[in-house]
A and B are shown apart, each in its own frame.
Chain A
Amino acid sequence: MTGLTWLASLWRNLFHRTRVERDLDDELHTYVDQLMDEKIRGGMSPAEARRAATMEAGGVEQMKEEVRDAMVTRTWDLLRRDVRHAARSLARSPGFTLVAVLCLALGIGANTTVFGVVDALLFRPPAHVRDPGSVVRVYFTRADREGGYATSSITNYPNYEDVAGSTGVFAQVAAYWPTQTTLGRGPEARPVQASLVSGSFFPLLGARPLLGRFIGPEDERGSAGDHVAVLSYGLWRRAFSGGGSPLGATLRIGRSSYTVIGVAPPGFTGPDPAPVDVWLPVRALANDLMGDGALTSRNSYWINVLGRLRAGVAPASAAAAATMALRRGNAADAHGDTSTTAELYPINRDRGPKMSERARASLWVAAGAAAVLLIACANLAGLLLARNAARWRELAVRLALGAGRSRLAAQLLVETLLLSAVGGGFGVALALWGGGALRAALLPDIGPAATVLSARVLAFTAATALVAAGLSGILPALTAGRADLASSLKSAGRSHTPRSSRGQSVLVVAQVAVTLVLLVGAELFVGSLKNLEARVGGLAADHLLVVTTDAEALGLGKADISLLYERMRDGLKRVPGVEDASAAVFMPLSSSGACCLDNVAGLEQPASITSGPYIFPVGPEWFGTAGTKIVEGRSFTAADRVGAPMVAVLNATMARAYWPRGGAVGKCLNLTDPAGGAARCAEIVGVAEDVVRINLRDQRDAGYYVPLDQFTGSYGAPWTPSYLLVRATGSPSAIVSAVRRALGDAAPDMPDVTIQPLEDSYGWLQLRPLRLGVTMFGAFAILGLVLAAVGIYGLLSFLASRRTAELAVRMALGAPARRVRWLMVRQGLRLAVVGAAIGVLCAIALGRALASLLYGISPSNPALLALAVMVLLGIAVAASYVPARRATRLDPSIALRAE
């Protein structure tokens, strides 16, 4: 039979069942009637003819049954019968059903939740992008300062133009740069996420605007490009109170004004998953944001490059052509780096040359979720085995009555499938309820599109449920048919030791082992997070707000800028909930800062220092605001002004590296004069505790602080303060709007003000993958523990019920209850010890693979392993003790009589 007609027939039978039945009925009745006609023609009376015809046909109903038997739908009918039977049988044991569904719902829910994240990071292409498979990200590998090579996704603008010239391999090349800026001015200003894009950006992605038009190549004509803006769907709804036409409106964004030309469709975020509020032409803004020459300098690396391959062009040959173009372009420039190589990667950012930390963390979390599912399946398999053992007689009777073994196995499998379907449904509900909140808390930059339950996620859930049913149902289904009929019926359930308890023991051991791995994983993540958080050093991060300003845009002199910041600081200090505030040129965890020894004369760089010293010009209130302790000497005071003797404060790493024997305080730091004068002595007046500069995992950097007021600049340009650090008495996010109002009042013309808790800053984001690991592995380990406890408890209760008579005899013969209990507990403990031993080995092996995400903690740390083992064994003893106690509480005489 061809598959198509088979399917068509199945379709007819499934969905047009009544019509099929009616047709059959008609056909057979016609047959009988025709037979009757024949007989009447042969000379019979109508009554006689009817009787004869009916007898010859042999009954319409029976014929129907025979026809049905011959047809495809037979299988379907059987399946329906099995499902009904399974549903009835499960409804009869609600306790078992509840536990089984709960197990599966937790296992499947965990996987569905995590799959949503992994899918968004690694597999699902960004929304509204046409043919995402042919869009590539261009990465750039260049020689770095240490003599190696580094690969980066950003490059200089001329490099983008070089790649864009390779029209033989790329149909289109686009550049973009995501940045934060401000919409509006003064107290009403609000932060927006902007993406600066080339004119080719929207044509390359192939999205269609919801309203108006997108930025195109025509907006790049003229020297600076047009000041036009495309709004995201969300910003349009927010800024135009949900529906007014924005086209033609003028918005103040950052330093300038822009005319709105279009609105992007809902869910469009460009090539990255992070939400974007507004798209602006890069040519119009580059100089404002990146300094003069941003579009011409080959030394300023900031822009991302995308390409759309021409049909039939292999990525390798496109990369080769792009490399050629880059080197040709760079060779023409004095500063150009002719070692640059272009590499092409898929559009999903987290699949770049080095898979992002959060992508790796989420893959591990996915592995953890799979482990939870395995535990849940092992648990359910154990429950099913126990259930089959308990209804040994029912199964044996059905076999005796002639049910085929394969039919019996199929029926048990249908039962498991039904359980997993219900469990999958609850799992999806769980993922909807917990998953959205979880992703919003731990991966807020994925964007809202990922929180929607997509068809992909549902398909994944269905597949997971099917796998779960298979994993947990196969063993019980296969062993159920292996009953020796005569002996099981004869033994009548009495003292019948089921063979399957060995299978259940293996399952419990497996659960314990996997749970131990999850526990160790959780410990590793917790330990790493604690270690990395400690690295932040002397910053009261949970109380700090970072205000980024754009005073440079105001075109003020140094003295006026100082006055402006003084005014802003005063305004801030009047805000209730603000403890203190301080201006700075650089911000820990947010800006990388400036180094190196060029501005300190006469100091040899010690071998222990590979980079730095970095310079941090700060206001006198800095240390108090940041919470950085002065460990030696004094901090800056208001007296350290222009004209007063120059002073400096070292960080602990610098003091230790340059003055290993101590005594840095009182020495001179000879700061070079950017104006070209002789180096001047800044007296070292104190040493402050270390603060991480930008990357939490990097080595500690040597650095020194100088008073903002005395600081005259470096590298030729006088730096102006661009940050304010604000210390809140309570939660920093609670005072954001009050801070914004105060700043708007103090500096109404300031074009670009962003305010965010330090914990949202770039450096702090590095903790997110670990937080994800901590939360998820913590939750999984607890789930694993609960499930393993249920597994051990279930097995021992089952064994205890089977051994009632034996235990009763022991007690009747005078064995103390304590010993009998120990007998039972020992059984559970033995399984747990074996499982834990296997788990420890697995944990050490897997922990090695996890090492790149960890910090300052080793998976083979004995204390850590011992703790996990102790927790697990404790749970095992507790889970075994309950059934053991119940068994010994029985009155022996009653227990024996019951047999």
Chain B
Amino acid sequence: MPSKPTNLLQGTLDLLILRALSLAPLHGLGVARRVEQITRGTFLVKPGSLFPALHRMEEAGWLKSSWGSSDNNRRAKYYELTKAGRAQLEVETAEWGRISQAIKLVLRAT
């Protein structure tokens, strides 16, 4: 399976999606809006990166999806975290904590 090298940004996107879904199941647009909301508009998630990430994470077993109806009575695909997804969220949170700590140290040193 071809997979792009995991860079910081992609890792961040995964973390953001997992975090957004940790509260309640959401559909694609819902995830994007929730991320915007949590980050106070710092991150705008474009559909071109959102949907590949959702499908990839579903394949990885972190998310599972089901069809439901949205507020405007449209049929939408909802994503929710699986057990593996919650574990992954913890792993990525810890990882991000280490990285931000390290970057803080670097910035303080200069």
Contact = CB atoms under 8 A, between A and B. Distances in A.
Q: Do A and B bind each other?
A: yes
A71 interface: yes
A70 B55 contact: yes
Given A30-B76, A67-B55, A35 B61 contact: no
Contact of A26 (B48, B55, B77): B77
Contact of A70 (B52, B72, B77): B52
Contact of B74 (A24, A30, A57): A30
Contact of A23 (B28, B46, B47, B77): B77
A66 B1 contact: no
A350 to B, nearest CB: 47
Contact of A63 (B47, B60, B72, B74): B47
Contact of B52 (A26, A67, A75): A67
Contacts of B52: 66-67, 69-70
Given A27-B28, A70-B56, A58 B76 contact: no
A9 interface: yes
B70 interface: yes
Contact of B51 (A6, A9, A28): A28
Interface of B: 1-2, 27-29, 46-49, 51-53, 55-56, 58-61, 70, 72, 74-77, 84
B75 A71 contact: no
Give the one of A9, A30, A63, A75 with max B CB within 10 A.
A30
Contacts, number: 76
A34 B27 CA distance: 10
Interface string A548-579: 00000000000000000000000000000000
A71 B55 contact: yes
A9 B59 contact: yes
Given A2-B61, A70-B55, A72-B59, A30 B70 contact: yes
A1 B47 contact: no
A27 B26 CA distance: 13
Nearest to B55: A67
Interface string A68-80: 0111101100000
B47 A72 contact: no
A58 B48 CA distance: 8
A23 B61 CA distance: 18
Interface string A44-68: 0000000000001110001100110
A177 interface: no
Query: What 8 A-B pairs come out closest when comparing CB atoms?
Result: A70-B52, A5-B61, A1-B60, A70-B56, A27-B77, A34-B29, A9-B59, A30-B76
B87 to A, nearest CB: 12
Interface of A is mostly: helix
A34 B74 contact: yes
A69 B49 CA distance: 11
Contacts of B70: 30, 34
A1 B59 contact: yes
B46 A58 contact: yes
Interface string A11-54: 00000000000011011101101110110000000000000000
Nearest to A66: B52
Give the one of B27, B29, B59, B77 with max A CB within 10 A.
B59
A277 to B, nearest CB: 58
A62 B46 CA distance: 13
A41 B6 CA distance: 38
21 contacts: A1-B59, A1-B60, A6-B59, A9-B58, A9-B59, A24-B55, A30-B70, A30-B74, A30-B75, A30-B77, A31-B27, A34-B27, A58-B46, A58-B47, A62-B48, A63-B47, A67-B51, A69-B2, A70-B52, A71-B59, A74-B2
Contacts of A26: 75, 77
B74 to A, nearest CB: 6
Contact residue range for chain A? 20 to 34
A31 B29 contact: yes
Contacts of A31: 27-29, 47, 51
B7 to A, nearest CB: 15
A70 B2 CA distance: 7
Contacts of B61: 1-2, 5
Given A2-B84, A30-B74, 7 more contacts: A2-B61, A28-B47, A34-B29, A37-B74, A57-B47, A66-B51, A75-B1
Contacts of A66: 48-49, 51-52
A62 B2 CA distance: 18
Nearest to B56: A70
A56 B72 CA distance: 20
A72 B72 CA distance: 33
A154 B53 CA distance: 72
B2 A75 contact: yes
A24 to B, nearest CB: 8
A27 B51 contact: yes
Nearest to B52: A70
Contacts of B75: 26, 30
Contacts of B28: 27, 30-31
A810 to B, nearest CB: 53
Give the one of B1, B28, B53, B60 with max A CB within 10 A.
B1
Nearest to B60: A1
A2 B61 CA distance: 7
A71 B29 contact: no
B107 to A, nearest CB: 33
Give the one of B2, B28, B47 with max A CB within 10 A.
B47
A538 to B, nearest CB: 75
Interface string A357-394: 00000000000000000000000000000000000000
Contact of A37 (B49, B59, B60, B72): B72
A34 B33 CA distance: 12
A5 B77 CA distance: 19
Contacts of A69: 2, 52
Contact of B1 (A5, A30, A58, A74): A74
Contact of B59 (A5, A23, A38): A5
A62 B51 CA distance: 11
B74 A72 contact: no
A71 B27 CA distance: 19
Given A5-B60, A30-B76, A70 B53 contact: yes
